[in-house]
């Protein structure tokens, strides 16, 4: 069997991505459940803001580090996080009158897990394109 560094890099990233997914799938709903007494919409706002702040730093430094050739930018991360935030608020809006605190937390966690995995996998599998004006060894500001 041949040693393929690219395949090994992808497997390591997948494992780090999966481990962080487990952590944030627990952390987000826990924050929501704890903040719920202040109201369901404030709870989802606190959970989303708290989790995504920590998740961005974790993605950038541990899951997809630049030292391994990845590029996690804030705009790209926001694109990956917006569907999660939207589904969090939408599920609270639709289900808050039908489910109690714990059931709403569990349903929200399940929805977040599915949407987060599928959407992040799609976003982070897309290649990062460099603007055509940026070329190795120079750029448009180069003289001569």
67-80 pLDDT, tens digit each? 666 677 788 788 87
Contact 116, 84 (CB under 8 A): yes
Q: Is the pTM of this model over 0.85?
A: no
Q: What is the pLDDT of residue 89?
A: 94
> DSSP state, 1?
-
Residue 30 has pLDDT above 50, yes or no: yes
Q: How far apart are the first and last CA of the chain?
A: 50
More confidently predicted of 61 and 131:
61
Task: Express as a percent the part of the chain with pLDDT over 70.
Answer: 72
Task: Say how far apart CA 26 and CA 15 lie, in whole Å.
Answer: 17
Burial class (CB in 10 A: 0-12, 13-18, 19+), 46: middle
The dihedral built from the CA positions of residue 85, 90, 92 and 95, taken in this order, carries a sign that is negative
Q: Is the pLDDT of residue 22 over 60?
A: yes
Share of the chain above pLDDT 90, in %: 29
pLDDT at residue number 25: 82
The residue ranking higher by pLDDT, 115 or 97, is 97
Instruction: Say which residues have a Cβ less than 8 Å from residue 92's Cβ, sequence separation at least 6.
Output: 40, 41, 43, 44, 104, 108
Q: How confident is the model at residue 91 (pLDDT cuts 50, 70, 90)?
A: very high
């Amino acid at each position: 069997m041949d040693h393929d560094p690219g395949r090994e890099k992808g497997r390591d990233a997948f494992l780090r991505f999966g481990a962080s997914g487990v952590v944030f799938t627990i952390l987000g709903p826990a924050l929501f459940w704890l903040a719920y007494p202040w109201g369901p919409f404030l709870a989802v706002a606190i959970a989303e803001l708290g989790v995504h702040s920590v998740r961005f730093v974790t993605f950038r430094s541990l899951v997809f580090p630049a030292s391994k050739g990845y590029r996690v930018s804030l705009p790209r991360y926001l694109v990956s996080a917006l569907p999660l935030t939207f589904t969090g608020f939408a599920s609270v809006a639709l289900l808050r009158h039908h489910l109690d605190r714990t059931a709403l937390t569990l349903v929200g966690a399940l929805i977040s897990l599915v949407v987060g995995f599928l959407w992040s996998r799609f976003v982070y599998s897309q290649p990062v394109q460099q603007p055509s004006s940026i070329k190795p060894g120079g750029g448009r500001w180069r003289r001569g």
